[in-house]
Structure formats: C-alpha cells, structure tokens
Amino acid sequence: MKSQAIPAALFMRNRFRLAALMSPGAVALIKSGERKLRNGDQFYPFRQNSDFFYLTGIDLGECVFAFTPDHSTPNLREILFIKRPTLKSELWMGHTPDPEKIQALSGIVKVLWLEELDAFLRLLISDEKLVYTDHKAFADQFARISPLAPLLQSLRMIKQPEEIGEIRKAVAITRSAFQRVLMKAGPGLYEYQVEAEIIAEFIGSGAEGHAFEPIVACGKNALTLHYVENNCSCEEGELLLIDFGAELNHYAADCSRTIPVSGRFTRRQRLLYDAVLRIFRKARDLMVPGTLMTDFHQAVGEMWEEEHIALGLYSREDVNLYTVDEPLWKNFFMHGISHSMGLNVHDPFDRSLPFEAGMVLSCEPGIYISDEKLGIRLENDILITDKGPVDLMEDIPIEAEEIEELMNRKS
C-alpha cells in the first residue's frame, strides 16, 4: 500500500456488524486473495479479496480469517492465520509484518501461523456447527454451510464514514488526473498517451493505480461501451470519452468525461453534450432514499426520450412503434444509469432494495449515435444522504465552457 493505512476501528466495527447478522455459535471462514503466477518467478500484481480486506484491513496473501460472534470463547472469537515467513520468502518478497503490526492494523488480537489452521478446524468446528463461507475448499469439509457473501453485501452497500473518506481521497486524485488530461489532450495525441498521463498522476499522488481498466475512446471508439484498446490517434474535430478512476487503499473512484480533441465543441457536439449534462443533473436529483434502481433507470430513459426527440434522433410517431420492454431510447442509451461503488468499482448491490443513506452510487447518463460516430458519457460518484444527494465529484470540471477554457489555457 502506498497510502496511509485506514485506522483499525473501521475493520473492528465491520466485524461487530457482521456478528449481529450471524447465527449464535456459527463460524465464518474467509480466505485472502492469492498471488497469481504470470510466468517464471513473475506474478501478476496482487489485489486483496475485497471481503477479506473489509473485515481485516490486511493486505497479505495466503491468509485465512476465522470469526465467530460467540462471546463465550473470547480468545477464539477472531483468529487470523498467516503464512509463516522463511528466509527465502523474505529475501525475495520482503518482510512479512509481525503479529504486533498485524494486530495494530486490524484490531485482531490472535494471530497464528497458517499451518495451525487444520488443527483449529478439526478441534473447534463440529458437524453441528454452522459455517459461513464462500470457499469450496471449506464448504466441502463441513456438514452445515451457509454463504457469507449475502451478509457482507448487506453491510458493504452502506458505507462507513472512513470508507467515504477514502473514496473522497480517490476522487481528489482522479480530479487531478483529469485536469492533467485537459492540459495535454489535443490532435495527434494517441489514446494510450492520454492513459499514460492519467496513470502518472495516479501513481505520483500515492494511489495504487487504476480502480479498473480505463476507457480512453476517441470518435467512433466511444460507441464500444467497454473499449479498452486505447491505441488510436485523437483527431481534430473528434470527441474523446474517458472513463477512469483512481484506487486508494482499495477504494475506487469512477469518473467519465467527454472532451473535444480540438479544444472547442462543434455546434452539434455542444447540443448533444448539453443534453447529457441536463440528464445528469435531473438524474442526480432523483438519487434519494427510497428510490429503486429499476425505477431510477426507467425515469432516466423517459427523460432521454424527450431529449432524443428534441435532438432530431427520432419522432414521437417512431416511439409508438416500439414496446415498453424495448423502447426506442435504448438504441441511444444502452447501459445502466448507476452502480454501487466502494472496495470495487462495481460493489455488491441488491437491486431489489431502495436507496439508503450511506450508499455511494454512480450517476452516468450517456448518448451513443453510430451515424455520427460519437459517444458522450458523463459520470460522477454520488453519496446518498437523508438531506439529498451529495456529489463527491462536484469540483471535477463538467461544464462545456469550463472544459474549453481549461483546454485552451495551455496555449
């Protein structure tokens, strides 16, 4: 981790909240992420299992966390099993934090070596005991199994103050990266060079890197919703859509902006851009407690229908030729309006439940017109509160005039 560690109080509170959802006397078993071999002695970058991090705050691989809400055995209520370091492993991979350091990071008092796990499982988990786990290796060992993921999903949907703080930090770095792009973007630059400016700002600011594979799509490339090749030249008169976000302490930001490569929107581009911005603001206002995701998406689609007609994309008569299940507006706005965010850029979320205070959700309307070889998307991260939506990205430039001004200031 490049950034300052999150205080252990968050992870202790997460475990306390999980205990309240578990059956008395049950045990939860959760594995950390594992380093994945790439070739030879080279591994892919390690990324911790988000659920494991949520409960422990520990960024080590090859660990197991055992947890029970049973207060009758306080010494065995929380145990973290870590792999015993060797001289060879520490020579190649560096020092493993000692148990005292792990205790300080996680608040977990009992830290044992991973080689002691099997004895723990044999002695303390009987056939009658309920085991919460999402790992097949554990599930095959016990008679009574229940998935842990639904319990953690219900907790992770509502962000704690410390989590919101980390997301805000990731957003601030994302903002700096966008400002850097505005200073650098122009005709002749390649999409991957724009991507390079983004990652340089992320790493230079202490983020782990991208929260997801970035989209840097110029012109018709923006019509591919998950375009990630990022290998084409940015040409005069085209629009450049970027969908990107920093990851800090495993927490994600997710931002989309669309800018004119030449530094000025054409008249038609500006009409389309302003329509997306109007939809964004109207949609953001709907992000209040009690809103259902499906109703939210439908409401935005109906807003788009009116905008599409005003933009000349189709007529009112054309609308009537389509069904309610497959409306015409979906031809120009194909993706969802929102998703949950947190430790993952697409955090676990139950779409059947209404929005609640403490949720962090994206708001991302877009318009995609194949005949005009362009796509425009605007996306901010929104905190749901009882007093209305809080836009965590409100200071990232989004007005067309401000974007043009910043792009032309470099000259």
Instruction: Provide the token pair at 24.
Output: 């008395």
Catalytic residue ranges: 41, 226, 243, 254, 335, 339, 346, 364, 368, 377, 379
Is the CA virtual torsion 181, 184, 186, 190 positive or negative? negative
Instruction: Provide the token pair at 252.
Output: 């994600």
Pairing of strands 130-132, 144-146: parallel
Comparing CA positions, the residue from 357, 361, 372 lying closest to residue 313 is: 372
Pairing of strands 27-31, 130-132: parallel
Is the CA virtual torsion 172, 178, 182, 185 positive or negative? positive
Q: 383: part of which helix (H) or strand (E)?
A: strand 380-383
Exposed, middle or buried by CB within 10 Å (0-12, 13-18, 19+), for 406? Answer: middle
The phi and psi torsions of 330 (rounded to 5 degrees) equal: -70, -15
| H and E: helices and strands count for the chain | 13, 19
